[in-house]
Amino acid sequence: MADITNQELTALLTERFGDKISGVNEPYGLLTFETTKDVVITVLEFLKQNSLANFNFLTDITAVHYPGRKHGIAVVYHLHSMVKRIRVRVKVFIDEHHPEIPTATTLWNSANWMERETYDLFGVKFEGHPDLRRILNMDELGVHPMLKQYPLEDPNRVDKKDEYFGR
């Protein structure tokens, strides 16, 4: 079992950050909360440095696109405390027309390529990133293909319309 419960962790965070921590829930036992982009690095640093939480490992950074919302891009961080054996998911919703968020490379070097991948696929600009270039797609690709407005297949094809396949 984990050495710190989700409730203790939530209490720790709300005590330090107050209403900057919102939307706390536990889907399948994994503590998930939202925060804002101005404090996200402070929150991550707090989780990393605090001796009760001790989230020493950055598992993953990715993004999700929710078109039509005011803040349409969610940047999702998965952290892991190998010491306390607990994971946490941190979400930051940002404006999809100005997708900017501070970089986490100042805390973990592993964030470097994860952020480059997120930039490549979603166009999220990580401010202060040492080398923010595309990583999987070619440099000349004008779009960020994981955004929902880009269809999977050529929209001009008449034989493969989505409705024929129940999609």
Partner 1 sequence: MNHNQPVETDNDPQNELVTLNLGPTHPATHGVFQNVIQLDGERIVSGISTIGYIHRAFEKIAEHRPFYQITPLTDRLNYCSSPINNMGWHMTVEKLLNIQTPKRVDYLRVIIMELARISDHIICNTIIAQDTGATTTFLYLFQFREHIYEIYEEICGARLTTNIGRIGGFERDFNEIAFAKINKFLKEFPVALQEFESLLNRNRIFIDRTAKVAEVSAEKALDYGWTGPLLRSAGVDYDVRVSDPYSSYEDFDFEVPVGTSGDIYDRYLVRNEEMWQSIRLIEQALEKIKHEPAGIFHADVPEFYLPAKEEVYNNMEALIYHFKIVMGEIDAPKAEVYHSVEGGNGELGFYLINDGGRTPYRLHFRRPSFINYQMFAPMSKGMLLSDAIINMSSMNIIAGELDA
Q: Long-range contacts made by residues 109-116, C-beta under 8 angstroms, separation at least 24?
A: 110/58, 111/58, 111/61, 114/58, 114/60, 114/61, 114/62, 115/61
Nearer to partner 1, 12 or 76 (CB): 76
* Residues in 75-94 that interact with partner 1 by CB under 8 A: 76, 78, 82, 85, 87, 89
Give the interface size with partner 1 as a residue count (CB under 8 A): 36
Please, what's the b/e burial string for 79-101 (b: 16 or more CB within 10 A of its CB; e: otherwise)? Answer: bbbeebebbbbbbbbbebeebeb
Rg (CA), the chain: 18
| Binding letters toward partner 1, positions 97-136, x by CB under 8 A | -----------xxx-xxx--x---x------------xxx
Element (DSSP H or E) covering residue 57? strand 57-65
| 122, amino acid identity | F
| Binding letters toward partner 1, positions 46-75, x by CB under 8 A | ----------xxxxx-x-xx----------
Binder to partner 1 among 7, 22, 26, 30 (CB under 8 A)?
Answer: 30
Q: Which of 44, 41, 39, 74 is nearest to 59 (CA)?
A: 44
Does 12 participate in binding partner 1 (rule CB under 8 A)?
no
Nearer to partner 1, 25 or 38 (CB): 25
**Rounded to an integer, what distance in angstroms lies between the CA atom of residue 154 and that of residue 146?**
15
Does 144 participate in binding partner 1 (rule CB under 8 A)?
no
Residues that bind partner 1 (CB under 8 A): 27-28, 30, 32, 56-60, 62, 64-65, 76, 78, 82, 85, 87, 89, 108-110, 112-114, 117, 121, 134-138, 145-146, 152, 166-167
